[in-house]
Amino acid sequence: MRIGMGYDVHRLVDGRDLIIGGVKIPYEKGLLGHSDADVALHALMDAMLGACALGDIGKLFPDNDMSFKDISSMLLLKRANEKILENGFTVTNADITIVCQKPKLSPFIQKMRENIAGVLSLPIDRISVKATTTEKLGFEGEGLGISAQAAVNVIQKI
C-alpha cells in the first residue's frame, strides 16, 4: 500500500470555461492553462503518479506539446490511470479538496465524484471531493485563482 499527494493552482481569467472535476461550471471566469486547466483533476493525477513514484503530470503531459492544448483533463486522467495500471498499481481511494472562494461548488460535487469514479472504475464511495473557501484570504480568497489538493491511496498488485 502506498500514499500520494498532489497540489495544483490555476489562475482565474476572463474568456475561459471553468471546468473542475470534469464539470463545466457556470461562472464569469475560467481557469487558465495549457489543457482545460482542471485544477482538481491535475492535483488528483499528481497524487496518483506520486504514490507510484512515476513522476508528475508535467512529465507525462508536457505543456509544450500542442497535442495537449485545451485537452480535457478527463482524458488525461484516463491516460494517467492507464500508466499506473501498466506499472502494476491500482487506486483504492482518493480525497480531493478544492480551495475556491467563488463560485459555490457544492451543487457540482456529486457530478465530480461520479466523473472521477467512472474514469478510475471505482465505486463512488471511494472518491471524496470537498470544497472550502479561505474566508477571503490569499489568492483563492481574492478570487485570483483556485487551488486543489489531493491524497490518493494505491495498492501494488502482486
Chain positions contacting Mg ion, by CB under 5 A:
8, 42
What is the nearest approach in angstroms of Mg ion to the Cβ of residue 119? 17
Minimum separation from the CB atom of position 11 to Mg ion (A): 10
Query: Torsion-angle region of residue 4: left (phi > 0), alpha (psi -120 to 50) or beta?
Result: beta
Q: Which is nearer to Mg ion, 71 or 85 (CB)?
A: 71
Q: What is the DSSP letter of 117?
A: H
Q: Which is closer to Mg ion, CB of 9 or CB of 117?
A: 9
Least CB distance to Mg ion at residue 125 (A): 27
Shortest reach from residue 58's CB to Mg ion, in Å: 8
Percent of the chain that is helix, strand, coil (3-state, to 5): 35, 30, 30
Cα 69 off chain centre by: 17
For residue 13, the minimal CB distance to Mg ion (Å) is: 14
Cβ distance to Mg ion smaller for residue 41 or 51: 41
- Residue for cell digits 491524497? 151
What is the total residue count of the chain?
Answer: 158
Q: Cβ closer to Mg ion: 36 or 120?
A: 36
Closest among 47, 18, 80 to 149, alpha carbons compared: 47
Chain residue at closest Cβ approach to Mg ion: 42
- Tell me how crowded residue 123 is: count the other CB atoms within 10 A of its CB: 9
Measured CA to CA, the distance from residue 126 to residue 62 in angstroms comes to 29
